[in-house]
Structure 1
Amino acid sequence: MKRERINIDKIEALKELELFKELKEEELKNIEKFFVVKKFKKGEYVFYEGDKEPGIYFVIDGIVKLIKETNEGKTVILRLATKGESFGWLVMKDNRPPVNTYTAQALVDTTVLYISNQDFLKLLLMYPALAVRITCELTKNILEAYDRLKSLAVEKVEGRIATLILELVDKIGKKEGDNVVINAPITRQDIAEMAGTTVETAIRVISRWKKEGILDTERGKIEIFDIDYLQDLIS
């Protein structure tokens, strides 16, 4: 498929990423050649589990869901990568597997900066301090996925859905008066996959919360009226 060309200043985009904020303007000019801007439509796959040619993606705008298929054939969303966050698979010299271990799909129209595994290793040799920061970033991502899997194992379904919504609030929520709004087309299917439950159960829980005035859902938006209620479910 021919990828749409995007007019974006890669240096300005790199400046917005925490990993590269300490680099000077001249250094950013030296490394921007390693990056490629890619755009994915809502629902389009960035890569599939098992794909070769691993690399690192940085979200410039949009949301990407990272999906893992279980042995039972169920789909679990490990985490959502939002603006400023990274995802992908970095292979060091003897690090394996040399393939992506999960599937990445654009939840909304998304723009990313992509760097190949080979070029990223060149980057680390040029700027060793980046190795420490990328290690911290990858560790954070792994812990987030671990927390998601742990919640699937120990929390009740209401707690898992509450955890998911609070995660979205933390990442992309916006304060509107006394309420918090999540502007993203999160479907019941997405909620079910991220909470490790059935679509029917997700619908039932969300519908009950709507009746109780905890939150409301519209097309492309979730508005939370009582965030304390959700926090109490997981405390």
Structure 2
Amino acid sequence: MLLNGHLRVGRLTPDGQQVVVRYIVPGDIFGIAMAIGRDTYPATATAIVESLALAWSSSVWPALVAKYPVLAAGTMQALGNRLQDVQARVVEMSTEEVERRVAHALLRLARQSGRKIEQGIEIDFPITRQDVAEMTGTTLHTVSRILSAWEDRGLVQGGRQRIILTDAHRLFLLAEGQSES
């Protein structure tokens, strides 16, 4: 369980392409391969800022969930939430234009780790345009072009490993395929 910090969970495709699967925030359970009957992890979690996690050996998992059923319930809830997220992302990847996928990704990150600041909602961990590209199945060039256009329209502000949603409402309308007016 992540106690403090942020983790990026990534996976390499067979052709060597990195895909960002999700971000882990404080309070999230991760590394739960045993809970789904696996003895290896399907992805790699990497700390993107200084982080602190509570960990236990996989060999003690059966005894832990037997003694603390709330741990099993929390793990099932985490798996259910991840399944819903994966289903939403599959629909996005299959049916939506890149601009809408990027908007959905930024809104998802803001909901998960947004911090209200004077300029809007800041994604509260270092995130690059490459990370956004890897999350949305597109290229760095495409994400850079989209975010630059959105900066010009006042939807976001960027910086080195920083994204601020300056007009989350208009970004939401864009993600849903509605007019910004």
Coarse TM-score class (shorter-chain normalised): 0.7 to 0.9
Q: Which of 116, 119, 122 matches 1:175? A: 116
Contact 1:78–1:149 (CA under 8 A) maintained in structure 2? no
More displaced stretch, 103-112 vs 207-216: 103-112
Give the deviation of 1:177 after TM superposition: 4.1
AA matched with 1:180: I
Contact 1:181–1:224 (CA under 8 A) maintained in structure 2? yes
Q: Which of 133, 141, 150 matches 2:82? A: 141
More displaced stretch, 197-206 vs 138-147: 138-147
Give the deviation of 1:127 after TM superposition: 2.2
Structure 2 vs 1, CA of residues 199 and 178 (structure 1 numbering), >3 Å: closer, same or farther?
A: closer
Q: Larger % of helix: which?
A: 2
Q: Which of 211, 214, 230 matches 2:155? A: 214
Structure 2 vs 1, CA of residues 134 and 128 (structure 1 numbering), >3 Å: closer, same or farther?
A: same
Structure 2 vs 1, CA of residues 202 and 178 (structure 1 numbering), >3 Å: closer, same or farther?
A: closer
Aligned length: 176
Aligned to 1:21: none
**TM-score, normalising length from structure 1?**
0.68
Aligned to 1:80: 23
Give the deviation of 1:149 after TM superposition: 3.5
Contact 1:65–1:81 (CA under 8 A) maintained in structure 2? yes
Give the deviation of 1:175 after TM superposition: 1.7
1:60 aligns with 2:3: yes
For the aligned residues, what is the CA RMSD? 2.0
Structure 2 vs 1, CA of residues 148 and 106 (structure 1 numbering), >3 Å: closer, same or farther?
A: farther
Contact 1:124–1:131 (CA under 8 A) maintained in structure 2? yes
Q: Which of 51, 70, 79 matches 1:110? A: 51
Structure 2 vs 1, CA of residues 210 and 129 (structure 1 numbering), >3 Å: closer, same or farther?
A: closer
1:150 aligns with 2:69: no
Matches within 5 A, 1:85-96: 85-91=28-34, 96=37
- Indicate the SS of the match to 1:88: coil
Query: Aligned equivalents of 2:4 and 2:50: distance in 1?
Result: 8
Structure 1 residue runs of 4+, over 3 Å off?
none
Query: Aligned equivalents of 2:26 and 2:68: distance in 1?
Result: 24
- Indicate the SS of the match to 1:97: coil
Q: Larger % of strand: which?
A: 1
Contact 1:169–1:182 (CA under 8 A) maintained in structure 2? yes
1:204 aligns with 2:129: no
Structure 2 vs 1, CA of residues 196 and 70 (structure 1 numbering), >3 Å: closer, same or farther?
A: same
Higher Cα Rg, which structure = 1
Contact 1:62–1:82 (CA under 8 A) maintained in structure 2? yes
More displaced stretch, 179-188 vs 128-137: 128-137
Contact 1:183–1:220 (CA under 8 A) maintained in structure 2? no
Alignment gaps of 5+ in structure 2: 177-181
Query: Aligned equivalents of 2:25 and 2:116: distance in 1?
Result: 18
Give the deviation of 1:63 after TM superposition: 1.2
Query: Aligned equivalents of 2:124 and 2:111: distance in 1?
Result: 12
Query: Aligned equivalents of 2:85 and 2:56: distance in 1?
Result: 23
Give the deviation of 1:146 after TM superposition: 3.4
Aligned-residue sequence identity (percent) comes to 30
- Indicate the SS of the match to 1:211: helix
Structure 2 vs 1, CA of residues 150 and 104 (structure 1 numbering), >3 Å: closer, same or farther?
A: farther
Query: Aligned equivalents of 1:129 and 1:223: distance in 2?
Result: 36
